[in-house]
A and B are shown apart, each in its own frame.
Chain A
Amino acid sequence: MDEIFARAKSILVIWADDVDPENLPVFQETLQTKAKQANIAFENVQMLLDSRRATSSFDIILFGLVSKRDPPTNADLFNEFFRLLRPNGYLITHIEHTTQSQAVDHFKMCGFTSCNPLDTNSSFLIENKDDDVKKLGSLWLCQKPSFDVGYSVPLRNRGNSQTGQVSSTNETKKTWTMDDDDLIDTNDLLDDNDRKKPDVKNYDCGTSSTGVRKACKNCSCGLAQELEQEEHAAAKETVKSACGSCYLGDAFRCAGCPKRGLPPFKPGERVTVPNMSDV
């Protein structure tokens, strides 16, 4: 139980009108010490259905624990608790023994799995209850399953394969993956539009760029070499500098500069191709 509270990030405490108002802040304090990282919200049971809180927003819901007597239960209320809980979240409430089986039926119909009584009647959770209520009832812990009810899981429809030769390979599960079955098939997220590639020619580059062939970064087919030959041939044809800024780096050279491709140098200096890494 302690871990459940310690891990919780958000808790909802539902109280009914018969609560002694002084008990609420005290309860909150005690609860906060048990659930250090949790955000604790309080709501009057009458207001709950109207407030339409977000689905799956609480780790724990505590119902009717602060009041002296056990509140009446109804299906609508439990359905709402179920909706508000996160998958694997917990509902904790106190139930009279005489109405126990009916309550458990309610729980199950809403979709709660694993409903169990706790035998810790000394828990801080019910310290506000009358003694006779404590004697005639128990704390119950119900958990919402990890699958959201109503969430449809797509069925694989492979039909009968031609050959029946396809076999599953359970023995070959990679040890470094978590259960793949826990995940949706991400390919289902894509539609036909997604599978199309963009039309490169339609890219608006905002200038009058011609559609020049470009080699890939890790060109392994030889196009990069080919393009380079073409560019070098073109550059060789212009021998005279048009701007006089040849000695500055490529950032300042004009398009036809004979020194294009070389690092900057001092004016008048003879420049050779640096052979820094000619392996």
Chain B
Amino acid sequence: MSKESRMRATINQKLTEMGERERLKEILRAKLTECGWKDQMKAHCKEVIKEKGLEHVTVEDLMVEITPKGRALVPDSVKKELLHRIRAFLSQHAT
């Protein structure tokens, strides 16, 4: 187990150090905006805010509401693309 956790730590470190993490983040954001995921989520936010009232909205509230839906709404193509990239990175740099 520790081996595994060590491996994970190493990989995460590499991801960050090589800038791959940032790159993947940007790619994901761009793709989600392109496919309309962002607008969908914003509409959902509006509903939540209207429910909760404009003045008392907190970041945590939003997070709790949005994240599960967000995760579900990611289109399959985007998900596959990203998984593929991550796997490619791992195969190149894993010990």
Do A and B share a complex?
Answer: no
Which residues of A come within 8 Å of B, CB atoms? none
Which residues of B come within 8 Å of A, CB atoms? none
